[in-house]
Amino acid sequence: MSEDKTNKEYNLIIGRHCPFEKPNYLLGAVKEAVSYDANALMIYLGAPQNTRRRFALTELKIPEFKKILTKNKIDIDNVIVHGPYVLNMANAAREDIFLWSVEFLKKEISRMEKIGLKTIVLHPGSRVDTPVEEALSQLAKGINLTLENTSTVRIALETMCGRGSEIGINFEQLKYIMDRVEQKERVGVC
């Protein structure tokens, strides 16, 4: 890329993960993205290894966040949330973990809707001690339960490397999941 053009002038969408840390949360993340001329960013709404969310929405300074996005021509659709690693809606062996994952994801999506964010990236999960097909169906069931009472947020399933009992490791598995999702327009792959 020549030095006299920016990402925006080339119509590229470029960004990276930005820290979502106290006390600045959203403001800190978007200011970091602006500092390197990004027009996209990914954040976690808490630590990726757990589901603790220790902030009130008022602490996020959402109007100021949106003002910085607008001023810097960053489309809010290009602010992506990554879900915590500990969710496992593919777990058909433990109903408690499955339901806990669904309930947490519903709450995370509710937070996202209040902020105005529209896409969350999820790891598909692990099959634990169940057959692959059963885990894939369980994940689709979890996605359906999660999306049934939400209105705007999309889920992007991240492809996985296949370590251990991970699912979502190839396009055939992802297609199997997506074929069983009711609101297909709200689920994609990244």
Tell me the per-residue pLDDT of 3-41, one tens digit each, with 9 for 90 and over.
555 666 778 999 999 999 999 999 999 999 999 999 999
Question: What pLDDT does 73 receive?
Answer: 95
Query: In angstroms, rounded to a whole number, what is the distance separating the alpha carbons of residues 134 and 115?
Result: 35
Query: In angstroms, rounded to a whole number, what is the distance separating the alpha carbons of residues 79 and 97?
Result: 28
Question: What pLDDT does 9 receive?
Answer: 73
Domains of the chain, first to last: 13-82 (no CATH), 85-190 (3.20.20.150)
Question: What pLDDT does 1 receive?
Answer: 46
Query: In angstroms, rounded to a whole number, what is the distance separating the alpha carbons of residues 145 and 95?
Result: 14
Whether the CB-CB separation of 98 and 91 falls below 8 Å is answered with yes
Question: What pLDDT does 149 receive?
Answer: 85
Question: What pLDDT does 11 receive?
Answer: 84
User: Tens-of-pLDDT digits for all 190 residues of the chain?
Assistant: 445 556 667 789 999 999 999 999 999 999 999 999 999 999 999 999 999 998 999 999 999 999 999 999 999 999 999 999 999 999 999 999 999 999 999 999 999 999 999 999 999 999 999 999 999 999 999 999 999 988 889 999 999 988 899 999 999 999 999 999 999 999 999 9
Question: What pLDDT does 6 receive?
Answer: 63
Query: In angstroms, rounded to a whole number, what is the distance separating the alpha carbons of residues 82 and 123?
Result: 9
For the chain, the first-to-last Cα distance in angstroms comes to 25
Task: Write down the residue that tokens 């994940």 correspond to.
Answer: 139
Closest CA to 175 of 146, 136, 148, 147: 136
